[in-house]
A and B are shown apart, each in its own frame.
Chain A
């Protein structure tokens, strides 16, 4: 007994009728992302689609906690004096840090090329320059990555990403079908390109760089995106089992997307709630990481509803036409 309410004639979201609307939104969102990535690939000497941080290029970041925030003029003075002391091209940033009472109010971050044990004294020079220009700077963190290690980290991270993609595709092909896996992969690229692209844009506009946590964020987004897509696919698989004879695949996919809609949206909301709490109240070191995940989860929810299902419906439609042509 199939439920009479199960397949309705019209739905809030119609992946067959509004196919092009949904795909256009995806394309419009992705074009600036892809352009920004291409721009960086052509203009950066290392041909990377995003600005790479010291984790991947090698370098040293020193962070100092200071009492009062510094003016942009002061930052130029500090930069000038650092260069005079033989520290070439330092990147200086002032990060304000809302914190509990008695904590660190402002952070000054100084990025230089790699300071290893051989040029260890450079750190003392930097501290001395800051002591002259700010009140009571206190070295609160040092991050230093050698250039060869950076390259290796980048290579490993990319390998991890490719392997994760492969693992997911194999799992889906095994649990579903090959065409589901390919479409899930397309949805996954959709989300990954969106997040990487937004960071490319942020890199061009604000000099935002990505670190190894960013790769983690992308992989989590990928996991989440597939997670979302699978919930929809699982419903399609289930509905197919009972209704394939009576209804077209377009109708079944439409029904499945709408049946899982509340779940998709609510899950994203709850995850976004935790992430927003992390973004606004969590530590400053994980801010970019959390932002990447927020973007990815929004893209992932969109792609599971409006991108993966549209592609699947389209794919099934083409296959049905072919089968019809053959049987005639």
Chain B
């Protein structure tokens, strides 16, 4: 009995610690609940880059992070998925059109020189080795001559040297500036330009302000090492998210209440105990969600609510077995103990299959499915602990003294049980036998 009281206090302390964690740590909610956008980018191979290596992915991730930050929309995350994909999560925005235009652009700036004339009399351009990599920064500027918007660029040390050399060689000729493979302008070089500053004008048509702004943002964020395409998008508005949270809370509360009513109605006193165990179970699971932390999504919440069903199952298995043992003429303490022992293999084997399914879902699934598998697995693992430790301890404390033993407490009638019921055996060794010995 002494050990059981110690265990009881351990359970109480664990529950209190978990409650403390729940109230002090913020819940990490998925984008489908708070609102926001998730984009998946896939790196595209090209004629020059035939294979996407981990190094390319690293620099792609870096460049995309810079760009996402340039959007200035708060706490964004960029993470690698598999060999060639990046997942970008942007909270609080649902209109992703700006983000989409911005993310997929390679932002390749190239300075080219003329090399002969093509069939139709147009100039053929040749790479010079001077690219966006040689930039220090870019700014939005306006041309002092006609007030047109221009991209004003500053080269780094090496870039400045290359640029000076190139302009020296091209005095009297045209030089071309390509952005993303598109010829932006081809000014005539009048003299060698030293000092590392230059301006890109919009050629004959001039630039729109927005075009200049985008180019500047992209140049500052850095070029992508490879092209990237958006292959998946998921955006949820904050109103829909809030609606989903509200509904999940209501559904969870109603589900839990219905289960508790059923358990008390059907199993009487043990049912009440299982309800308390269920509350402790929920507290522990929630605290674990916050410790890991598990990002809660709608599917994740569904997984948790389903795990409540499975947690109750363990209790049902035990109580059914206890009732059976009582009907078979066991004493109360024996019946409770063998109820736990006999039910354990069922609980263990059936939960193992759920864990196997969850592990496979987690390993192979995508975001939504992963969230579901993780919450369900945590739920099932905690339910084994709560059934075996919490429910058992409470049962022992309530019925272990042998004072509370009216058969109606178990939903049984007097004639259903036999004489042994009145015997009080509180020793575990004596309680080892069950129905089938």
A interface residues with partner B (beta carbon < 8 Å): 1-3, 5-6, 60, 63, 65, 97, 99-100, 103-104, 116-117, 120, 123-124, 138-146, 148-149, 153, 156-157, 159-160, 163-164, 167-168, 171-172, 175, 212-213, 215-216, 219-220, 222-224, 226-228, 230-231, 234-235, 238-239, 241-243, 259-260, 262-263, 266-267, 269-271, 273-278, 280-283, 285-286, 289-290, 293
Contacts and interface: CB of A to CB of B under 8 A. Distances in A.
B240 A63 contact: yes
B267 to A, nearest CB: 9
Interface string B338-367: 000010011001111110111111011110
A58 to B, nearest CB: 9
Contacts of B244: 283, 285
A219 B240 CA distance: 27
Contacts of A274: 255-256, 258-259, 305-306, 308-309
Contacts of A139: 94-95, 237
A120 B231 contact: no
B317 A263 contact: yes
28 contacts: A99-B247, A120-B100, A123-B97, A139-B237, A140-B94, A141-B94, A142-B235, A143-B233, A144-B234, A156-B365, A157-B364, A167-B356, A175-B349, A212-B365, A223-B358, A227-B313, A227-B354, A230-B346, A266-B262, A266-B316, A269-B262, A270-B259, A271-B312, A274-B259, A277-B251, A277-B255, A277-B305, A285-B244
B302 A289 contact: yes
Contacts of B309: 267, 270-271, 273-275
B320 interface: yes
A278 B302 contact: yes
B372 interface: yes
Nearest to B342: A238
A51 to B, nearest CB: 19
B263 A270 contact: yes
Given A213-B369, A216-B369, A5 B96 contact: no
A104 B240 contact: yes
A73 B359 CA distance: 48
Contacts of B302: 278, 282, 286, 289-290
B374 to A, nearest CB: 12
A243 B95 CA distance: 68
B256 A238 contact: no
B101 interface: yes
B236 A141 contact: yes
Interface in B182-211: none
Nearest to B362: A160
A226 B256 CA distance: 24
A168 B357 contact: yes
B266 interface: yes
Nearest to A239: B436
Contacts of B263: 270
B436 A167 contact: no
B320 A262 contact: yes
B94 A286 contact: no
Q: Is the interface of A mostly helix, strand, loop or mixed?
A: helix
Nearest to B358: A223
Contacts, number: 256
Nearest to B308: A274
B436 A3 contact: yes
A231 B298 contact: no
B94 A219 contact: no
Contact of A149 (B94, B232, B258): B232
Given A213-B369, A216-B361, A219-B361, A278 B352 contact: no
B360 A238 contact: no
B368 interface: yes
What band does the interface of chain B fall in when counting residues whose beta carbon is under 8 Å from A?
A: 35 or more
B437 interface: yes
Nearest to A63: B240
Contact of A231 (B236, B317, B364): B317
A116 B320 contact: no
A213 B299 contact: yes
Given A275-B309, A277-B258, A263 B320 contact: yes
Interface of B: 32, 37, 40, 42, 94-97, 100-101, 103-104, 229-237, 239-240, 242-244, 246-248, 250-252, 254-256, 258-259, 262-263, 266, 298-299, 302, 305-306, 308-310, 312-313, 316-317, 320, 324, 327-329, 342, 345-346, 349-354, 356-361, 363-366, 368-369, 372-373, 376, 435-437
B384 to A, nearest CB: 13
Contacts of A219: 357, 360-361
Contacts of A226: 350, 353
B258 A138 contact: no
Nearest to A272: B309
A222 B357 contact: yes
Contacts of A227: 310, 313, 350-351, 353-354
Given A263-B316, A266-B316, A274-B309, A285 B255 contact: no
B399 to A, nearest CB: 20
B239 A273 contact: no
Q: With a 10 A CB-CB cut-off, give which of B252, B317, B328, B361 has the most chain A CB atoms.
A: B361
A167 B357 contact: yes
A293 B306 contact: yes
A2 B437 CA distance: 7
A117 B101 contact: yes
A164 B316 contact: no
B231 A146 contact: yes
A231 B346 contact: yes
A273 to B, nearest CB: 4
Contacts of B328: 3, 5-6
Contacts of A293: 306
A215 B248 CA distance: 21
A213 B371 CA distance: 11
Contact of A230 (B231, B308, B350): B350
A164 B357 contact: yes
Q: With a 10 A CB-CB cut-off, give which of A104, A220, A262, A275 has the most chain B CB atoms.
A: A220
Contacts of A153: 366
A266 B319 CA distance: 11
